[in-house]
Amino acid sequence: MLIEVKNLEKTYIDGAETPALRGVSFSIKKGEFVAIMGPSGSGKSTLLHILGFLDKQTSGEYRFDGKTIDDYSKEEVARVRNKKMGFVFQAFNLLTRISVLENVKLPLLYSGIKESQWDDLAKKALDSVGLSHRLYHQPSQLSGGEQQRVAIARALVNNPEVIFADEPTGNLDSKSAQTVMTILQKLNEEKGHTIVLITHETYIAEHARRIIRLLDGKIESDTLVNNRRKADHFVK
């Protein structure tokens, strides 16, 4: 099992206690495409940060690939995030003063992969999202949808076991959102990447094969998607 969560609790303390997660339990197998849904304040982004070793739970257990965050040193946690996890955020988080190619190469700085291979790996990742013609453009020269595709390529460049996508279509128009979801589906179906998607939009969640719904920090439902939405307009 790639991801195992048992009785996860997260409480923020800032003068008063604010519970964000309340006894959450589920597991995700390698190769699954899971959407985590919920209204604002339901705990979905908090959960994603814990799954990505960006934050730590107050209590309960989280195992990634059989190990908890406490099984690693700080250096090993950073290595796991770099090599086994890819992250895509709503805000793209691209560096504006360097090219698309250089942005995608950034995770390779700490990968241990020989620098002579970086260009080829980054170009391959950009090719997989249909942006081979934008290698030397700067992010400001791209549309929002293209910038998010660069962010996906950057998440892919180390060939991670799982891609965590936090509201990846939140800043995009409907056509660009469809393109991004097509890419994520192809990565799951054709390349076998595990995808964990955070969204509050039902039509986006329906591209996944399974939807976990959160409400007030608890799992409200965990269901398979019988009529999975197709995203097929994107042509590389």
Closest by CA to 153, choosing from 177, 128, 117, 190, is 128
What is the reported pTM?
0.92
Residues 217, 18: Cα–Cα separation, whole Å: 11
Q: pLDDT tens across 156-168, in order? A: 999 999 999 999 9
- Distance from chain centroid for Cα 29: 15
Residues 2, 134: Cα–Cα separation, whole Å: 34
Cα torsion 135, 107, 196, 214: sign: negative
Residues 138, 134: Cα–Cα separation, whole Å: 8
Residues 20, 37: Cα–Cα separation, whole Å: 14
Q: pLDDT tens across 106-158, in order? A: 999 988 899 999 999 999 999 999 999 999 999 999 999 999 999 999 999 99
Residue 90: both structure tokens together? 């709503």
Band of pLDDT at residue 232, cut at 50, 70 and 90:
low
H helices of 190-236, in order, are 202-205
Strand partners, 140: none
